[in-house]
Structure 1
Amino acid sequence: MGDSVDLRNVFAEFVGTVFVMLAGPGLLVLGGDAVGTLGVAIGFGAATALSIGVIGAVANPMFSLALFFARGITGHQLVTDLIGQVLGGIAGAALIWGMNDAVRFRAGSNGWEPTSEVGLQLTGYSTLGTVIAAELVIGIVITIVLLSSINQELPESAVAAFTGLAVTVGALFLLPISGFGANPARSIGAAIFADTDPNALGQLWVFVIVPLIASFGGVLVWLGIDEATVDDTVFDDTILDDVADAVDELVDGD
């Protein structure tokens, strides 16, 4: 049983994602106006950089899926990544919720339009189309930075720093639009504990589906701008073999 799931990887992703939750949505809820948009954005970016560089976790399903597409991780590791990340997102949100009342916690979720608690705090109220476009573009850009940094064989500290910087810039752009999703684990955890906002879970699908699409789009753009080929990804003619191998790994626990 222990061989079928890499508990070390699950735990690393769990801890990394909890850290991202505390430094991102945590600052958004606990710090509020005192921290400001820049402070929250730096929190997201710094936590991402430290998670990658120190903990060894990408702490984001969007990153894990992109790495799987680029053959950076196996299908088995993708599954363990996702388990740790989703659990970490929920646990991190629970910690923030425990330090605050439920009403204030709603500010840490994602959303749009005045029907959303996040939308009520934004100027101009973002529309669904705006949120999808913005989350998609930023997700693609951040993914490209991660993949390009790794492909250039930069030190892990540099990969962490560049990716964290990209997340910071992305957060600065997206916080006023959607509350900054770009991480399904972060969005799932926040939505679950934003229980007094009826639209948090109802609008969650955007912040799960769009980042995963962005991971795919990021790999495609990365192929066009970096010294990588389709043969370096799972999109070559062996994709069916890759899927079969991933299933075998999960079943056999190898």
Structure 2
Amino acid sequence: MEGKEEDVKLGANKFSERQPIGTAAQDKDYKEPPPAPLFEPGEIKSWSFYRAGIAEFVATFLFLYITILTVMGVKRGATTCATVGIQGIAWAFGGMIFALVYCTAGISGGHINPAVTFGLFLARKLSLTRALFYMIMQCLGAICGAGVVKGFQKGLYETNGGGANVVNPGYTKGSGLGAEIIGTFILVYTVFSATDAKRSARDSHVPILAPLPIGFAVFLVHLATIPITGTGINPARSLGAAVIYNRDHAWDDQWIFWVGPFVGAGLAAIYHQIVIRAIPFKSRS
């Protein structure tokens, strides 16, 4: 009888949540890995370090190439109904993030975004050395990706805004900044949740493909904020388009697409680590 009773305990009933908050929960089902060192000079001598940076460069290059081309295609149409429209742009951004995170997660972690890198750095998931290297490679990749789009269709690129992020007419700078903060919070919070090893250990009965919710979060944020700022939530994406388009109005709002994502990423890191994960500032003796 005991065996039969065990057989019918499926899903959530079999894996009920009985764990206390804080270190006791961590000790029961998962040991928290040590935080990454702030500086790790030794890793710059490793090929895996540079391979990860190259992966971030190529992924961000491809991300800008596909997404900016999609934006140009929508701008070119006489009406949005003749093109993939706003929904298509959102799908291009979300779908590329899904594909690229899937491809690069095992090499670099699949950040493809300085804000994501910054949030993970605050959570001590990677060293400052690696975080800075990733951000540089992401920005270079974005610039190259936007540059290739301009090279393919210079006239269309110049006359249709180059995919640069600006605060659209009818919205204030404050509205644009708020949209970027909240949008990036959603993205980075999803990244933390989808890649949380403790969740995998505790909720192993819930299969999850991490790139899928991350890409879907990008898609949803774009649907909401394209009318406001064109949706940045990625400083490398905004910088790459601004550098290649190089118009005054694109640079006027550039600070919004750095301050907003970094603030949003920082808030997401704090919320996930302190509230959701309930990791105390000091371990219990």
TM-score range, shorter chain: 0.7 to 0.9
Is the contact made by 2:162 and 2:241 (CA closer than 8 Å) also made in structure 1? no
Is the contact made by 1:105 and 1:193 (CA closer than 8 Å) also made in structure 2? no
User: Are the structure 2 counterparts of residues 158 and 225 from structure 1 closer, same or farther at C-alpha, using a change threshold of 3 Å?
Assistant: farther
Q: Is 1:86 aligned to 2:139, yes or no?
A: yes
Deviations 1:198-221 (A, max 9, x none): 211121111012101111011122
What are the within-5 Å matches in structure 2 for residues 177-196 of structure 1?
177-195=228-246
Structure 2 counterpart of 1:28: 71
CA RMSD of aligned residues (A): 2.4
What are the within-5 Å matches in structure 2 for residues 88-167 of structure 1?
88-100=141-153, 101=155, 102-112=157-167, 119=168, 125-151=170-196, 152-153=199-200, 158-167=209-218
Is the contact made by 2:72 and 2:163 (CA closer than 8 Å) also made in structure 1? yes
Deviations 1:49-78 (A, max 9, x none): 111111232100011111111122222221
Uncovered stretches (5+) of structure 2, i.e. residues with no partner:
1-42
Structure 1 counterpart of 2:54: 11
Structure 2 counterpart of 1:64: 117
User: Are the structure 2 counterparts of residues 71 and 130 from structure 1 closer, same or farther at C-alpha, using a change threshold of 3 Å?
Assistant: same
Is the contact made by 2:164 and 2:242 (CA closer than 8 Å) also made in structure 1? yes
TM-score, with length taken from structure 1: 0.80
Higher helix share: 1
Classify the secondary structure of the residue corresponding to 2:171.
coil
TM-score, with length taken from structure 2: 0.72
Cα distance in 2 for residues equivalent to 1:25 and 1:172: 16
TM-superposed CA distance for 1:228, in Å, is 3.9
Is the contact made by 1:105 and 1:194 (CA closer than 8 Å) also made in structure 2? no
Cα distance in 1 for residues equivalent to 2:67 and 2:143: 14
Structure 1 or 2, whichever has the larger Rg, is 2
